[in-house]
Amino acid sequence: MPAAKTPEREMASPDILIVGAGVAGLSLATALGREGFHVTVIDGASRPQSPTANRAIADWDLRVSALTPTSIAFLESLGAWSAIPSNRTGCYTGMRVWDGHGSGRIRFDASDVNAPYLGHIVENRLTLQALLQCAETCPGVDVLWECAMDTMTHTNSGWDIRCQDGLSFCAPLTVGADGARSRVREWAAMPTRQWSYDQSAIVGTVALTSHHQDACWQAFLDTGPLALLPLADEDKVAIVWSLDELQHEQIAALSDEAFLSALNRALGCDAPEAVAVGPRASFPLRQSHAIDYVDQGLVLVADAAHSIHPLAGQGINLGLSDVRVLAEELTAGKVKGLTVDSPVLLRRYQRQRKTENLAMMAAMEGFKRGFGSQQPLAVMARNVGLGLVDQQAWLKRWFMGQALS
Ligand SMILES: Cc1cc2nc3c(=O)[nH]c(=O)nc-3n(C[C@H](O)[C@H](O)[C@H](O)COP(=O)(O)OP(=O)(O)OC[C@H]3O[C@@H](n4cnc5c(N)ncnc54)[C@H](O)[C@@H]3O)c2cc1C
């Protein structure tokens, strides 16, 4: 089947080829298109349909993201934030975190740091649709659907990309924005540290008996973290329930009624009660980090470069920061007369992003290990630790600074 092209336009020979039209690929295409680069984006999937505006429990996307103010500002600068219906985003002003194994709990509020809010919970399909509108109307950007990259070979003029439908591309710079199982990273043989958490996450929409209080709720349980993320409807939350494989198999197989009982038991009396659940899905959880994000004429962004445990909800925020920094470096390079594949530019991007991504991944790993232990001493230490942080205004402000960026 021929690749589905966006509205009738002549396709210019691209300066930059982006593999993957997810949130990362489309935001990068828009950011670069606005700076006068010619960009082609290819994606193996079909063009996403316009999402429904219905609000029944089954109508919400199973995949949501907690977008930080920094990510929102970047989406705003691309024109994408205003294209997301505001009655569909859950603005949250608080976070409630507790240890399911003890009495330790901590409460963060936007007012502690004089911020109007901490973030917005947004359905992934809405972020994607908004970015697609921006990319498709941006001069210099072409988005091709049903165009899966099949092979990649390095040549003197760039990477020669062959697609399953027979199309081929060779641009001075190729960007891998093709997600956690990146074929670009694989074909370029870029060494990557990766490991499985031996956990899967159940995601779904849940209705509550009471208001979610515009707060994200996160319990650290023996079996893994459980998060309730507030949706735009005050009685609905998205859940991300990470579970060790054995428990995951058992809980994923439960009927809706039994699932709700298990969920309420897990939440205890620290969170609002769940009364209904929509369709559910599961994702295996893996952490991966490419040793290098760049190679000759090649660069990785977002999940293609790094994917982390969803417990901090930082995945797409780190990805959007990669995109912003790469777009800034390429634009600054253009002003100085550097080519898009300039190793100086690509290394500058890598230096900036690797430091921040590694720090966040190490912090998440620490949390995961610290809260994964049921040793009495570890349980006591983290309960005392949570209590201490809760009482220290400066420490709370530091944690919130991390969550807001
Ligand atoms: C359970 C779970 C909960 C999460 N919750 C959060 C959260 O609360 N907050 C948050 O920030 N992040 C969260 N994340 C992470 C977030 O979803 C990812 O970081 C984000 O989707 C990555 O975006 P991306 O554009 O890099 O990749 P993707 O969204 O994976 O997009 C990659 C694109 O590449 C295309 N593609 C792949 N291979 C090819 C090929 N060979 N040829 C052409 N196209 C190809 C795919 O079709 C796809 O469209 C969560 C993840 C999980 C698993």
For 256-313, the pLDDT digits (tens) are: 999 999 999 999 888 999 999 999 999 999 889 999 999 999 999 999 999 988 776 7
- DSSP 8-state code for residue 291: S
Pairing of strands 224-230, 236-244: antiparallel
User: How far away, in angstroms, is 378 Cα from ligand 1 center?
Assistant: 34
Identify the pLDDT of residue 2.
Answer: 46
Identify the pLDDT of residue 1.
Answer: 43
What φ, ψ does residue 361 adopt, rounded to 5°? -65, -40
Of 314, 398, 234, 233, nearest to 66 by C-alpha is 314
> Chain-centre distance of CA 86, in angstroms?
20
- Tell me which CATH code domain 4-372 carries: 3.50.50.60
Identify the pLDDT of residue 361.
Answer: 81
**Pocket test residue of 303, 323, 360, 404 for ligand 1, highest count of atoms within 8 A of CB:** 303
User: How far away, in angstroms, is 132 Cα from ligand 1 center?
Assistant: 15
Return d(Cα 403, Cα 401) in angstroms, integer. Answer: 5
SS3 at position 184: helix
Are the beta carbons of 85 and 53 closer than 8 angstroms? yes
Average pLDDT for residues 27-38, to the nearest whole number? 98
Of 405, 188, 196, nearest to 300 by C-alpha is 188
Residue nearest to atom 44 of ligand 1 (CA): 43
Burial class (CB in 10 A: 0-12, 13-18, 19+), 361: buried
Q: Mean pLDDT in the chain?
A: 89
Query: Residue 183 CA: which ligand 1 atom is closest?
Result: 41
Exposure pattern of 229-239 as b/e (b: 16+ CB <10 Å)?
Answer: bbbbbebbbbb
Are the beta carbons of 282 and 266 closer than 8 angstroms? no
In short, whether 45's Cβ falls inside 6 Å of ligand 1 is yes
Residue 399's pLDDT band (cuts 50, 70, 90): low
Residue nearest to atom 21 of ligand 1 (CA): 316
Which of 160-169, 221-230, 232-241, 381-390 is predicted most confidently?
232-241
Residue nearest to atom 52 of ligand 1 (CA): 310
- DSSP 8-state code for residue 229: E
Return d(Cα 218, Cα 283) in angstroms, integer. Answer: 18
Residues 180-190: tens digit of each pLDDT: 999 999 999 99
Residues 6+ apart with CB under 8 A from 144: 3, 4, 5, 6, 40, 41, 42, 43, 167
Of 6-10, 156-160, 344-348, give the lowest mean pLDDT range.
6-10
Q: Is the dihedral of CA 115, 83, 55, 249 positive or negative?
A: negative
- DSSP 8-state code for residue 353: H
Residues 216-248: tens digit of each pLDDT: 998 988 888 899 999 999 999 999 999 999 999
In short, whether 123's Cβ falls inside 6 Å of ligand 1 is no
Domain ranges of the chain: 4-372
Average pLDDT for residues 122-126, to the nearest whole number? 97
First to last CA, the chain: 43
Residue 279 tokens read as 């369709």
Query: Residue 285 CA: which ligand 1 atom is closest?
Result: 53
Q: What is the dihedral of CA 208, 69, 327, 139, to 10 degrees?
A: 70
